Amino acid sequence: MAHQPVVSARRLLALAAVTLTTAAVWIVLAPAAPLAQPLAFNHARHRQMACVTCHRGAASTARAGVPQGDVCVKCHTTPPDAEGARALWPDITRGDRIAWVQVTRVPEHVFFSHRRHVALGRLECTSCHGEMQQRTSPVGTAPVDLRMEACLSCHRREGASQDCAACHR
Ligand code: HEC
Ligand code: HEC
Ligand code: HEC
Ligand code: HEC
Ligand code: HEC
């Protein structure tokens, strides 16, 4: 019985070695995660700017919107240093649309309005999207909890509507 802990410790060490080796091989051989967006945008580099400078609709319409090149070229007359940017910049400067993919979205049957929450509800972006200004690469999954329960628990807390028809069309 007295030797048991020693054996366990050796076993654990062996197991840890195998795990570390597997991790090392995985890191070397696994392909880089594909970029979800046309270029590697970096929120942290733009943290000095107000969110609504780029997401112009967030306070006034249902959709926050993702900015097009006209916003970018005000500062970036030459391509910024990021994956995808150099190849796209001539098109962007010409006024072509950037094909951003909308990652965060509620299903068709749900009604959500940014204006209602930002302008009327006076909620900060962070109360739903977390610390976006710290992200250094585009999100792969929605940076917000989109389950009905997440909406309802805040609505209960804030005394907002829990009427089915308010959120469902
Ligand atoms: C108000 C000025 C301003 C606007 C508008 C702006 N940027 Fe930037 N951007 C900067 C500054 C400052 C930096 C940091 C210095 C640098 O790397 O050039 C930066 C850096 C970047 C980088 C490099 C990030 C990294 O990983 O090093 C990318 C990519 C980028 N911007 C893309 C964009 C895109 C796309 C838009 C439009 C949606 C945009 N920027 C709008 C000022 C701006
Ligand atoms: C009450 C929670 C909540 C708040 C506050 C909020 N958002 Fe959103 N956001 C959402 C939800 C839910 C979606 C998905 C909406 C959809 O499918 O149309 C979304 C989608 C987005 C999108 C992508 C789709 C689009 O609308 O263009 C952007 C960008 C965005 N939000 C930015 C912001 C910014 C910037 C702020 C602050 C000014 C903000 N949000 C405040 C919940 C919120
Ligand atoms: C310089 C312009 C710029 C600023 C400032 C900016 N964003 Fe963004 N944002 C973008 C671009 C471009 C994308 C699309 C690429 C990506 O996901 O990184 C994006 C994506 C997002 C998304 C995800 C959209 C989706 O499809 O799911 C959210 C949420 C968001 N931004 C919130 C914010 C918040 C909150 C702030 C303020 C803290 C902010 N952004 C500041 C340009 C900006
Ligand atoms: C962080 C808190 C919070 C979250 C999360 C949230 N809401 Fe809200 N919502 C509010 C507040 C506060 C109001 C009341 C705003 C006002 O003063 O009009 C509101 C109002 C609404 C209204 C208008 C209701 C009416 O009276 O007609 C709708 C619709 C709505 N929210 C949908 C949603 C949906 C859908 C989600 C989830 C995807 C969601 N909300 C998530 C806080 C939240
Ligand atoms: C505050 C907003 C809000 C209210 C109020 C609300 N829902 Fe939802 N509901 C959502 C959102 C967001 C989704 C999508 C995400 C999910 O499926 O969890 C959803 C999804 C659903 C779904 C679809 C599930 C599926 O698998 O597709 C049903 C059914 C539903 N709600 C019924 C109701 C009923 C019944 C009520 C009233 C008792 C209600 N909801 C009230 C926001 C709301």
The tens digit of pLDDT for each residue in 138-150 reads 998 888 899 999 9
What is the 146 CA–ligand 3 centroid distance (Å)? 17
% helix, strand, coil for the chain, step of 5: 45, 0, 50
* Pocket residue to mutate for ligand 4, from 108, 124, 151, most atoms within 8 A of Cβ: 151
138 lines ligand 3 (CB under 6 A): yes
pLDDT at 14: 58
pLDDT at 1: 42
The tens digit of pLDDT for each residue in 20-57 reads 555 544 444 444 566 789 999 999 999 999 999 999 99
Q: How confident is the model at residue 168 (pLDDT cuts 50, 70, 90)?
A: very high
Query: Rounded to the nearest 10 degrees, how much is the dihedral formed by the CA atoms of 118, 98, 95, 46?
Result: 50
Contacts of 68 (CB under 8 A, 6+ apart): 97, 98
pLDDT at 28: 44
Task: Enumerate long-range contacts of 53-60, CB under 8 Å, 24 or more apart.
Answer: 57/114, 57/115, 58/114, 58/115, 58/118, 58/125, 59/114, 59/115, 59/118, 59/119, 60/115, 60/119
Ligand 3, atom 41, residue with closest C-alpha: 51
148 lines ligand 4 (CB under 6 A): no
- Where does 31-115 have alpha helices with state H? 51-54, 69-72, 85-94, 114-115
Ligand 3, atom 13, residue with closest C-alpha: 66
The tens digit of pLDDT for each residue in 50-87 reads 999 999 999 999 999 999 999 999 999 999 999 999 99
* Pocket residue to mutate for ligand 2, from 52, 104, 117, most atoms within 8 A of Cβ: 104
Tell me the backbone φ, ψ of residue 87, rounded to 5 degrees: -65, -35
Q: Nearest 5°: CA angle at 120, between 122 and 130?
A: 40
